Amino acid sequence: MSDFAAPIAQQIWEMKYRFQPPEGSGDETVADTWRRIARALAQDEDDPAHWEEQFYTALSDFRFLPAGRIVAGAGTQRSVTLFNCFVMGTIPDSLSGIFEALREAALTMQQGGGIGYDFSTIRPRGAPVAGVGADASGPLSFMDVWDSMCRTIMSAGARRGAMMATLRCDHPDIEDFITAKQDPMRLRNFNLSVLITDAFMEAVETGQTWDLTFGGTVYRTVNARDLWDLIMRSTYDYAEPGVIFIDRINRRNNLYYAEEISATNPCGEQPLPPYGACLLGSINLARLVSDPFTDQATLDDDTLSDLVGLAVRMMDNVVDTSRFPLPEQQQEAQAKRRIGLGVTGLADALLMVGERYGSKEAARRTEQWLHRIARAAYLASAHLAQEKGAFPLFDPEAFLASETMMEMDADVRRAVSKHGIRNALLTSIAPTGTISLFAGNVSSGIEPVFAYSYTRKVLQKDRTKTEEEVVDYAVQLYRDLHGDGPLPEHFVNAQTLDPIEHVRMQAAAQKWIDSSISKTINCPADIDFDAFKDVYLEAWGTGCKGCTTYRPNDVTGSVLSLAEATSPPVETPKFETPIDRPDAVDGMTYKIKWPNSEHAIYITLNDVIVDGVRRPLEIFINSKNMEHFAWTVALTRMISAVFRRGGDVSFVVEELKAVFDPRGGAWMQGKYVPSILAAIGGVIEKHMISIGFLTAEGAGLSIDPVTARINSATPGPACPNCGAFEMRMQEGCLTCGNCGYSKCS
C-alpha cells in the first residue's frame, strides 16, 4: 500500500520527510512515516489504537497528504510547529510597536513559519510624527527592515522563510508599493499583493477618481483606472504585485462576525486575521479514480467522503498537537480551529476521466468534485462538534447566516444547526509542489500538468551523476495501460492553455472553497496588454478571491518548456586575474560611531586604477572594542580577497547591507540601518560612488557577477537548494521540479 510510485518520490522522502534521529530508531520505510504520523495525531483520541489504524489507512497509498510540515515533524518530538504559515498581528503605527512586531516575526520565522503582514496601518512617507519633529519614512522603509531580518534568519540555518506583504489600494504610498520590486535588489524575500476593495473596482469600471487616504486625511486623489493600469503594467512586466479582492474575502468569511482580514499567508491560499495560522492538507484525487482512461472512469464518491472525514479529524487534532512560535498564535488557532483541506492531482484525475483541463466540462466536473469535498468536510466537522464540542467562537445564528453556509446543502445546514461545527473554516487549496512529487509526481494542487516528463540529474553515492526521466503520474499510468503511442487529444499542459481557461478552473474551484486558492495563471510572453488586463477582470467577475499571473519575459525569466527541461552543462566559474598590489596606494578612512557603543569603528578603503578605472583594492577595519576584534579581522581579510580578485565586486555592498542584527539596528543620518555590518556596507557603497565605481546608491549587484554570467546562459534560473535548472512558476511561486524547493514553503 505504501510503495513509491516513482524514484523521485523516494528521493523526496529521504531528503525531506524521513525521520532519522541521532540515536534510536527512525523511519526505515515510508510505512514507518505513515505510522509515526498516525500515532502522533491519534494520541489524544478516546480510543487511540482505533484511530491510529484509521489514520494510517488514510495516509497509505498517498491518498491523504498532510502538508510537509506535518509529515516531517509529527511524532518526532522536535520543537517545531506543524502549521505552515502565519499572518502576524496588526502592526502599530509607532516605532516601538513596529519593532515589537519585527521581533515576533523573527521568532516565527526561526521556527520555520512563513508570514503575512498588512503594512497599511503604518502612516505614509512624509506624514508628520508628533513629538519628535520629523516626518515618517513610510511602510516601504520598514518592509526593507523585515526583508533584512528574513535574510538573516535564513542565513543562520533556519528553514527557508517567505513573507507576504499587503497594502490597501487607498494607502497614500500604494504607487511606491506597486513598483517596489522593479528594483531587483529590493524586498527579495517578499511576495507583494494589493488589497483591492469593491469600491475601487467600481471606480475602475466607471472611470471615477480615487482618494488615497490615511487616518481620515486625503493625501492625494488619482484616477482609479490609472492606478489599476499601474498595477497591471507592473504585473505584466515584473510578475508582481498580485491582487487580493479583500472585500469579497471578508464578505464570504464564515467568521465575518468575529474577525477582519487584511492579509494572507505567502502563497495567498489562506486569508487570515491577526495571529491567524494555516494548517494544510490535500486529498490526492489522482489516487481515487477507478477504471482510469476508460469509459467507466469515475471518482469514487464513498471513498472520497470517508477519506475527507478522516482528514478533517486528523487536521483538527493537529490544532491541539502542534507547538506555536507565539502564545497569541496558539490562542487564535484554538479559538477558531481553522483548517485548510484541499486537493492535489486534480489535473491528473481529469485526464483519467477523459476531460480536457480548462474546458467548460472540466470546470463543471471540478466544481462537482469540490462540492462533494466541501459537504463531506462540513458534515465531518459537525459530527466532531457533536463528539468534542464546537469551536469556542461559534455563534449558531451568525455562522449559518454566512454566505458559504447560505449556499450549502440543506442536510449540512441542519447538521450544523443541531450540533454546531468543530472548525470555523475547512477548505483551502495550497501549493503542493513537494508533496506532489512525494506522491509520485501527481499534478500540483489544481494546476494543470506542467510537463508530461523532464530529465533530472541524480547524484549517486560514488559522486557520479545519472540522468532520470520524471514522468507525470497520469501520463505514466496511461503509458502503462496503453503503451508509448501518442497521447489523447485531451492531454494538455500549462504552456498550451489560454489564460482564460486557467481563470475558469480557479473560479470553478473557488465556489466551494471557504478560504482561498493558490494558483498561477500562466500567460504567453506575447499576450497583448489589454488581453492581460482582461484576465484580472475575468477573475474579478467570476468570483475569484485573488489573481496571480506569470508572463515570461527578460525580467521574470522564462518558464522551462518540455524541450528545455534537461539541465544544461555548467562550467566551473573562472575568475578574473587577481590584481597585483602596488607599493603605494591611495585611499580614504571613514568613521562609524554605532549608538550605545563605547568605541568607534574606522574603515580604510584603498584603491587602484585598472584599465583606466579606479576601483577598490583592499579594506582595513579597526576598532578598540576587543569584542569586535575577531570579526573585523575576518572581514578585512575576506573583503580584501574579494576586491583583489578583480571583476565587478559591488555585490559585496548589498550582501553586507542586508545583514540584520536580531538585537536591533540603529537610525543613522535619518535612515534605519539594520546592523553594524550593514553600516559598513553603506560606507563601502559611499566610497565606491565617490570614486566612480558605482553610479548611485543601490546600484550594486545583488549576486556574484561571475555566477550571473553563467546562469544567464541557461533556459531558466537554477534552484538555490539543489542547483538544477528546473525552477518553474506554479501556484504563485517559483518551485523546483527536481527537489521540490519553493521559496514560499
Catalytic residue among 265, 317, 493, 606: 265
- Which residues, in sequence order, are CB contacts of 311 under 8 Å at separation 6+? 58, 64, 281, 283, 341, 377
Instruction: Report the SS3 class of residue 121.
Output: coil
Instruction: Report the SS3 class of residue 580.
Output: coil
Residues 373 and 156: their CA atoms lie apart, in Å, by 41
Written as nine digits, the cell of 334 is 484554538
Q: Which neighbouring-strand residues pair with 592? A: 601
- Which residues, in sequence order, are CB contacts of 584 under 8 Å at separation 6+? none
Torsion 503-475-428-558 (CA) sign: negative
Contact (Cβ atoms closer than 8 angstroms) between residue 17 and residue 33: yes
Unique residue bearing C-alpha cell 540522468: 467
Residues 185 and 203: their CA atoms lie apart, in Å, by 34
Closest to 80 (Cα-Cα) out of 54, 110, 50: 110
- Which residues, in sequence order, are CB contacts of 545 under 8 Å at separation 6+? 244, 245, 248, 249, 252, 271, 510, 516, 517
Q: Specify whether 265 is catalytic.
A: yes
Closest to 282 (Cα-Cα) out of 373, 348, 343, 347: 343
Q: Specify whether 267 is catalytic.
A: yes
Written as nine digits, the cell of 123 is 502612516
H-only helix segments in 111-197:
139-155, 174-179
Residues 615 and 139: their CA atoms lie apart, in Å, by 35
Unique residue bearing C-alpha cell 565605481: 693
Catalytic residue among 267, 278, 739, 744: 267
Residue 732's Cβ-count burial label (10 Å; 0-12, 13-18, 19+) is buried
DSSP β-ladder status, 586-592 and 601-610: antiparallel
Classify residue 116 as left (phi > 0), alpha (psi -120 to 50) or beta: beta
Residues 366 and 357: their CA atoms lie apart, in Å, by 9
Residues 579 and 589: their CA atoms lie apart, in Å, by 21
Residues 269 and 335: their CA atoms lie apart, in Å, by 20
Residues 564 and 558: their CA atoms lie apart, in Å, by 10
Residue 169's Cβ-count burial label (10 Å; 0-12, 13-18, 19+) is buried
Residues 454 and 564: their CA atoms lie apart, in Å, by 9
Q: Which neighbouring-strand residues pair with 222? A: 210
Classify residue 358 as left (phi > 0), alpha (psi -120 to 50) or beta: left
Which amino acid belongs to residue 58?
Answer: A
Q: Specify whether 150 is catalytic.
A: no
Residues 663 and 667: their CA atoms lie apart, in Å, by 14
Catalytic residue among 104, 259, 269, 618: 269
381: phi then psi, degrees, rounded to nearest 5: -70, -35
Which amino acid belongs to residue 130?
Answer: A
Characterize 504-527 residue by residue with b for buried, 16 or more Cβ atoms within 10 angstroms of its Cβ, and e for exposed: bbbbbbbbbbbbbbbbbbbbeeeb
H-only helix segments in 625-692:
629-644, 651-657, 676-690
Written as nine digits, the cell of 466 is 545519472
Residue 200's Cβ-count burial label (10 Å; 0-12, 13-18, 19+) is buried
Which helix or strand (DSSP H or E) is residue 615 part of? strand 613-623
Question: Which residues are the active-site residues?
Answer: 265, 267, 269
